[in-house]
A and B are shown apart, each in its own frame.
Chain A
């Protein structure tokens, strides 16, 4: 059951300010409409996880951890590994998060991150089969939101991708019908790098990477997941506002350009850390 949520607490003055500034082409934190906040990625944050990454997007902080276990495949894909994504809106991250089982917001977040990874075929799941129909690797991605200052979708998708790219898992083999863990480790086979780009919809304006105040002021945002070759693999509008066809095309254009920019930035960073 999905119920209209309580409106987030934002002062009328601040809300009006955000709208007024937007009409002048400005944003409250001085960014331009198509500018990301500062992004910082720390991989290997949790050593006990098979892969992990802490993403800081402005003051939004999301930690993704990856665990790999042996489990049964889905009956319709007996020769493929299993992917599962869950998201936890940890109560310490925001006054609006409550302890308890996953609510619709955390489920929607996890399912969007999942869609980006699954539909792009980012993980070569076919290489994760041990015994067809019986035993495969199960890749579990857990998104842990630590500080909610807006745009959880982009931060979470990025954290999941960064964690996947660094994931190493123990090689198992089957001896006399038993699954045995070996000393050897292997890099998780990653084939695509899906990047999510989110824009808040404020009247007829589109604001890239909305912070919490902008999210509260607009309540609506649209997200795209793009791949290296320019194709997209997921789209999702969230919130109560509506969008015209013209704005949808405009949003697609911005998302396309910005994901390319982000991709360049991230890969350069990756290369430098590799050299270091």
Chain B
């Protein structure tokens, strides 16, 4: 640590951003033909696809719950998504992330409307560059909305962290690896609550609260882009219909 300078004397980060700037984000909703709902996000060099299937019959059947739908979530990285090939078998990290992502999405899904069914959420990281759990969550929440599943709100996720002693927004891979701390959060603007809170690294309590505050700002901006992306899909569908 400290060997690589991550923020220069003008306060500019390695990829040219200021401390409170998100990476460039591109969102497409409904990109997959087969899935009931899908979304694709590019955030900096991250390229992530999310798809939702369901609600459908639950299998294995004994998992069924009589009063609500159950959620099944897989966060997975493609073997070629990182510099060293990643084995396609689920790693301990992927198992943990699948769980925290499911737990972050479940509060918004109105599972009580679909008893005895299952909703599948698949997240594929095609290219990883820091913050994949957040980008995956943001995409998965859009895929749920695109599948027409009633939601209490959208989930927007973003990380902030500590890099070269400064609190910065939306860490890239280098900042995540060389920086002091990473603090990913997910926020549900409609409900004004967090559904994901994690942190690893070293921070004073005040710095942590500052990071949460900054990440929250990031989530709010991402939320606006999510809404815009959903609207865009319907504008395009409408335009297509008009042309026919």
Chain A contacts to B: CB under 8 angstroms? 1-4, 6-7, 102, 104-105, 107-108, 110-111, 115, 119-120, 222, 227, 230-245, 248-249, 252, 256
Contacts and interface: CB of A to CB of B under 8 A. Distances in A.
Given A104-B96, A236-B198, A242-B193, A231 B103 contact: no
B205 A256 contact: yes
Interface residues of B, number: 43
Interface stretch (B32-40, B134-142, B164-172, B208-216): B208-216
A234 B181 CA distance: 9
A2 B208 contact: no
Given A231-B202, A252-B209, A243 B197 contact: yes
Interface in B187-207: 188, 191-205
A245 B70 contact: no
Contact of A242 (B181, B195, B205): B195
Nearest to B188: A242
B199 A234 contact: yes
Nearest to A238: B103
B205 A4 contact: no
Pairs of residues from A and B, 5 with the lowest C-beta to C-beta distance, nearest first: A242-B193, A235-B199, A4-B70, A2-B98, A237-B197
Interface string B121-135: 000000000000000
Interface of B: 63, 65, 70-74, 90, 92-93, 95-96, 98-103, 106-107, 111, 181, 183, 188, 191-205, 208-209, 212, 216
Nearest to B102: A2
Nearest to B98: A2
In this complex, which of B74, B90, B102 has the most chain A Cβ atoms within 10 angstroms of its Cβ? B102
Contacts of A249: 209
B196 to A, nearest CB: 7
Contact of A119 (B72, B106, B200, B209): B200
B194 A6 contact: no
Given A242-B188, A245-B216, A232 B205 contact: yes
A101 to B, nearest CB: 10
Given A235-B183, A236-B197, A108 B205 contact: no
B203 A232 contact: yes
A3 B96 contact: no
B228 to A, nearest CB: 24
20 contacts: A1-B98, A2-B98, A3-B102, A4-B63, A6-B63, A105-B99, A107-B96, A119-B181, A119-B200, A119-B202, A230-B204, A233-B200, A233-B201, A233-B202, A233-B203, A237-B194, A242-B188, A242-B193, A244-B192, A244-B193
B73 A2 contact: yes
Nearest to A239: B103
B103 A240 contact: yes
Contacts of B74: 1-2
Given A2-B74, A242-B191, A252-B208, A235 B197 contact: yes
Contacts of B72: 1-4
A107 B95 contact: yes
Contacts of B202: 119-120, 227, 231-233
A222 B197 CA distance: 8
Contacts of B198: 235-237
Contacts of A231: 202-205
A232 B208 contact: yes
Task: Identify which of B96, B111, B193 gathers the most chain A CB atoms within 10 Å of its CB.
Answer: B96
B217 to A, nearest CB: 12
A148 to B, nearest CB: 18
Contact of B95 (A104, A222, A230, A243): A104
Given A2-B102, A4-B71, A4-B102, A235 B208 contact: yes
A233 B192 CA distance: 26
B196 A237 contact: yes
B194 A243 contact: yes
B156 to A, nearest CB: 13
A133 B164 CA distance: 28
B205 A245 contact: no
B201 A240 contact: no
Contacts of B200: 115, 119, 233-234
A244 B194 CA distance: 6
Contacts of A119: 181, 200-202
